[in-house]
Amino acid sequence: MFQMASQLVIDEGAAGVLQSLREAGYIDGDSLKLSRFNAQGDVATANAIAQELVGGNYDLLITLTTGALQAVANANQQRKAPHIFGLVSDPVKAGVGIGAEPLDHPAHLVGIGTFPPVDQCLSLAKKMNPHLTRVGMGWNPAEINSEVCTKAARLACRQLNIELLETNVENTSAVKEAVSSLIDRHVDALLIGGDVTMLGAVEVIAKAGRDARIPVFTCIPGNATKGALFDLGANYFEVGRSVGRVATRVLQGESIAKIPVEIAIPPKTFINSTVLKDIDAAWSFPPDILQSADSVIDETGRHDKPSRDQENSASAVTPETRAPSGKPWNVRLLAFVNSPDVEEAERGLRDGLKKSGLEQERDYVLKSANAQGDIGTLNGMVDAALSDHADLLLTISTPALQACLQRVKETPIVFTFVANPFLAGVGDSDTDHLRNVTGSYGSNDVKRMLPLIRQAFPNARRMGTLYTPNEVNSVYSYNLLVEATRGSEYELLSVGVTSASETPDATQSLCDQHVDLFCLPASNLTSSSYPTIAQTAGRAKVPVFGFMASMAAKGAVIVLTRDVYDMGIESGQIAALVIRGKSPGSIPFHQCTASKLIVNPVAAAACGLKLPDSLLKTADEIIGQ
């Protein structure tokens, strides 16, 4: 399953797919082996992932969003792999061979289309403010889904007598300037359509709107919690379930050629009435809108209309498991980038809370956000969490922890997936630290890695590595490798990279210097852009050794990783203590020292290496056999 980026609606869609598969008896690790991929919004990374998927001998490919659909469809032109798509605004306009009729599609490709209801969104805005005359909209011309939404917005605005002012945005770092240009043109509101680039910076856009006293509204649910006045769009969890049902039919043997392409737009409306105090008084919520909304955020918190499943079930509540607070804690989970390792850490956090006996919605309401590697977006996420009066902040990765430390003085912070928290300024020891901060951490086991490299590749002498100079965690992990190789038989050649677009050239540069192998310290950037690193190293038949678990399944020969899922569980259990009333300052940091050895003999063979039996016998997991 491949998604173009990590955003709330995409993650909800993915959760819906997995829920539907589970309901049909397809459970990961039992009757199903699931590999997940994420391009972090980068087109080059998406294309590299698509090539890997098509050549990966998978029984089924599931893509979420238009960009992921297009990347895989282009790589899969020989129709080698069955392909199911979802979370696509207009499958016909995607240019992948899908026609207007339900059965007019390639015999290997089918899925669910979900067109965001842009016209209904604008009609609702006009109902809330009858004087609405000028709406600003930023969009990325490289996204066909965004182009489709923009065209729909043009038509709807003409019918509603609204002037639509547009600006083009190529990446998330350009969003702030683009929105400022729209505000300078005196728009009454800002509309975000189904644009992955704009949705990746919702907090930044919402803050700019508040500063100008104008609202932001979207046709993609989940953004009202980030500062939008309202979202009117599809229920993407239910869309994901529909995609999962199609996947189930294919897994059970039904021919894709006989399955029609469907359009599914189950509606969902989110309203954030707290925004009204920060915008022009002309905006208001009519009573019928408030009554029909699926979720309303007000000064007392978030109030969700129960789903049918919730109405038909009741959970047992016992004094031993309930949190002591009179209302659910408002918990925000903030991550800097998305990668399989980050997803594992988040899964551990969530499971740690559950294992502690706390229940979501009853004891806490958890909202997650991911900055997609953009520092400005990350800072905006922290500001949005504070504006939303978060009771607890959960952070994944060092940059997320640092961003919180810069802005948060009182709100409790629980961190995970951090190499060395002390470099971030949290304190001097596991017991002597800031009174509002605690969590779990673990660094690369470099000293154990070098003997493993020697065992797998005894003739190697020139070691190449990449690190990220502007990530304190990456520099720390890199320095551990420098120190370990000093005085050893290895010559270490290194290149610093600061963006995903630099990694292919940096990797090739080291290959041109005839390195024998790559050893990659933990880094948010190299982890999220690892597919391009692996692809370049693979062409040169240079083996890769690393410290991030996700690298093993994507071509690394040996991975020696701290168990980030267990680290996440530790932090989740620590967070449960905080929710139950314990001061973070009284909870010692937990250092994870256990390592997991994962080996990939197939990747080794592709580079001309044969791993010795003595090494294989010590592995905790063997990939590819």
Does residue 317 carry a pLDDT above 60?
Answer: no
Q: Is 171 left (phi over 0), alpha (psi -120 to 50) or beta?
A: beta
Give me the residues paired with residue 472 across strands. none
315 falls within a domain: no
pLDDT, position 461: 94
213 shares its domain with 146: yes
CA distances from 293 to 118, 220, 290, 506 (A): 17, 14, 5, 50
The bridge status of strand 163-168 relative to strand 216-218 is unpaired
Percent of the chain surpassing pLDDT 90: 55
What average pLDDT is seen over the chain? 88
The CA-based dihedral angle spanning residues 407, 206, 175, 86, taken in that order and rounded to the nearest 10 degrees? 110
**Average pLDDT over every residue of 444-459:** 91
Residues 87 and 148 in one domain: no
Q: What is the pLDDT of residue 543?
A: 96
Q: Domain of 450?
A: 446-563+595-622
Cα–Cα distance between 441 and 420 in angstroms, integer?
7
Q: Which residues on neighbouring strands pair with residue 330, listed in sequence order?
A: 365
- Taking the C-alpha atoms of residue 544 and residue 453, their distance in angstroms, rounded to an integer, is 10
Place of tokens 């207007």: 100
* CA nearest neighbour of 394 among 594, 562, 570: 570
Q: Are residues 554 and 535 in the same domain?
A: yes
* pLDDT 10s digits, 38-96: 887 788 889 999 999 998 889 999 999 999 999 999 999 888 789 999 999 889 888 99
- Say if residues 12 and 236 touch (Cβ distance below 8 Å): yes
User: Which two three-digit tokens encode residue 36?
Assistant: 């997940």
What's the pLDDT at 145? 78
In this prediction, residue 316 carries a pLDDT of: 31
In the chain, the number of structural domains is 4
More confident residue, 503 or 301: 503
* Residue-wise pLDDT tens digits, 351-399: 999 888 888 888 999 999 998 888 889 999 999 999 889 999 999 999 9
pLDDT of residue 303: 79
Least confident piece of the model among 106-110, 199-203, 216-220? 199-203
Which residue is associated with the tokens 């609202």? 215
Is residue 318, in this structure, part of any structural domain at all? no
> Does 364 reside within a domain?
yes
Same domain? For 432 and 463 the reply is: no
pLDDT surpassing 80 at residue 264: no
Closest Cα partner for 469 from 494, 505, 443?
494
Q: Residues 142, 148, 154, CA angle at the centre, nearest 5°? A: 115
What is the structure's pLDDT at 194? 82
Tell whether 101 and 73 lie within a shared domain: yes
Which stretches within 397-543 are classed as H helix?
398-407, 446-456, 472-485, 503-512, 524-528, 530-539
Q: Which of 263, 282, 311 is a domain's end point?
A: 263
pLDDT of residue 319: 35
**pLDDT(314) > 50:** no
Does 437 lie in the same domain as 399? yes
Residue 304 lies in a domain: no
Spatial separation of the C-alpha atoms in residues 94 and 305, rounded to whole Å: 35
Closest CA to 62 of 27, 42, 30, 88: 88
Asked if residue 314 is part of any domain, the answer here is no
Residue 310 clears pLDDT 60, i.e. is over it: no
- 276 and 173 in a common domain: yes
Q: Are 244 and 16 in contact (CB under 8 A)?
A: yes
Q: What is the DSSP string of 510-553?
A: HHHTT-SEEEE---HHHHHTHHHHHHHHHHTT--EEES-GGGGG
Residue 456 falls within a domain, yes or no? yes
Same domain assignment for residues 413 and 453: no
Confidence check: pLDDT of 320 > 50: no
- Strand order in 134-139's β-sheet? 163-168, 134-139, 189-192, 216-218, 230-234, 267-272, 295-298, 301-304
Looking at the predicted structure, is the pLDDT value of residue 313 above 70? no
Asked if residue 77 and residue 65 are part of one domain, the reply reads yes
Per-residue pLDDT, 601: 93
Q: SS3 of 210, please? A: helix
Indicate whether 158 pLDDT > 80: yes
Please write the tens of the pLDDT for every residue from 568-619.
Answer: 999 999 999 999 888 899 898 988 877 789 999 999 999 999 999 989 988 8
User: Pseudo-torsion of CA 335, 337, 338, 340, nearest 10°?
Assistant: -100
Any idea how long the chain is? 625
Are β-strands 329-335 and 189-192 bridged in parallel, bridged antiparallel, or unpaired?
unpaired
Residues 215, 276: one domain?
yes
List Cβ neighbours of 391 (8 Å cut-off, separation of 6 or more).
329, 330, 331, 411, 412
Most confident of 99-103, 527-531, 571-575: 571-575
Residue 237 above 70 pLDDT?
Answer: yes
**Model confidence at 221, in pLDDT bands (50, 70, 90)?**
confident
The string of DSSP codes covering 556-616 is: -SEEEEE-HHHHHHHHHHHHHHHHTT--GGGS--EE---EEEEE-HHHHHHTT----HHHH
**Are residues 91 and 34 part of one domain?**
yes
Confidence of residue 472 (pLDDT cuts 50, 70, 90): confident
Q: For residue 483, count other CB atoms closer than 10 A to its CB.
A: 11
Is the pLDDT score of 405 beyond 90?
Answer: yes
CATH code where residue 35 lies: 3.40.50.2300
User: Is residue 515, in this structure, part of any structural domain at all?
Assistant: yes
415 found inside a domain: yes
Q: Give the pairing of strands 37-38 and 61-64.
A: unpaired
Residue 288 has pLDDT above 80, yes or no: yes
Predicted local confidence at residue 326, as pLDDT: 57
Mean pLDDT, range 124-137, rounded to an integer: 95
Nearest by Cα to 116 from 238, 3, 230, 266: 266
CB atoms within 10 A of CB 272: 26
**Angle in degrees, 0-180, between the axes of helices 472-485 and 446-456, rounded to the nearest 10:** 60
Tell me, yes or no, whether 142 and 224 share the same domain. yes
Burial of residue 93 (CB within 10 Å: 0-12, 13-18, 19+) is middle
Largest CA distance in the chain: 76
